[in-house]
Amino acid sequence: MKKGILLVAVILLSTAGLAQAQEDELGVTLGVKYMSRYIWRGFDMYEDNDGAIRPFIDVDLYGTGFGVNVIHTRGIGDEMRYTERMEKLNYTLYYRNKLFEDETYATNYKAGWVYYSYPERQRNSADLQEIFVTLSWPEICPAGIVPKYTIVRMWPAESKADCRNNGGWWHLFGLGYDLAVPGLMPETPEQILHLSVETAYNDSVYRGGKTVDHDWSHAAFGISTNFDLGNDLTFTPGIYYQSSWDDSVNSSDEYWTTLTVKYKF
């Protein structure tokens, strides 16, 4: 059933983009991300602070704003039996666009549906779905700070699944700022550091049957930058720190790094 819904949705989105196919090309981005610790919306997802490898593909459907994204997350570490059970596939269908483009309150938005599948576990026992809307305002602050807000509604894929209590809401608030510094490589006159901070209010989203408080769960701070490797390859290292506020989500502050390589064609 799940695969049928995904196939139909992809066909419909592809059909919607054919009208612009002569003007805009199909955009495909392939990549892989290494995470030294798999932190997701405040939760430390793996025991013993194991890291993860996340290959992904993102398809932009002819510049229509519609797109498809698939991410495969697999743990790396000593507790492989556990991380194999937590192996995850995310399937995302999304639409992005802009509102009030010529105004100071110009708004970028992205809306979509995500299906979280756990292929190493009993069918649909842990699968989840969510819908989300992300809003950002790139022109509203003269200093260049970009506010962002995401609202998420999550629910189990099956009403009688093991994860049937894992539904709820997330409210994610963030700020981003691009800081220009002298080039880090001789051929690069300027390097852009992407600074970010995000905090979350978890309104009853559970993890693994564990009750989670209705509370502000954490704040995560990050810095990353892009290196153009040529031939449409980009390398992006990142460093992150999380201040954990709610023990029912995470009882420890977290530090982790990411290394991402992307190829766009």
Which CATH number characterizes residue 198's domain?
A: 2.40.160.40
Q: Please, what is the average pLDDT of the chain?
A: 87
Domain encompassing residue 21: 2-264
For residue 158, the model assigns a pLDDT of: 77
For residue 1, the model assigns a pLDDT of: 47
For residue 135, the model assigns a pLDDT of: 98
* 95 Cβ contact partners less than 8 Å away, ≥ 6 residues apart: 65, 66, 67, 110, 111, 112
67 or 21: which leads in pLDDT = 67
List, for residues 80-92, the tens digit of each pLDDT value. Answer: 555 556 789 999 9
pTM over 0.85: yes
Dist. CA 93–CA 13, nearest whole Å? 9
Q: Which of 30, 74, 39, 38 is nearest to 261 (CA)?
A: 30
For residue 164, the model assigns a pLDDT of: 63
Confidence of residue 22 (pLDDT cuts 50, 70, 90): very low
For residue 123, the model assigns a pLDDT of: 64
- State yes or no: pLDDT of 197 exceeds 50: yes
Q: How many of the other CB atoms lie within 10 Å of CB of 145?
A: 14
How many domains does the structure of the chain reveal?
Answer: 1
List, for residues 98-156, the tens digit of each pLDDT value. Answer: 999 999 999 999 999 999 998 877 766 788 899 999 999 999 999 999 999 999 999 98
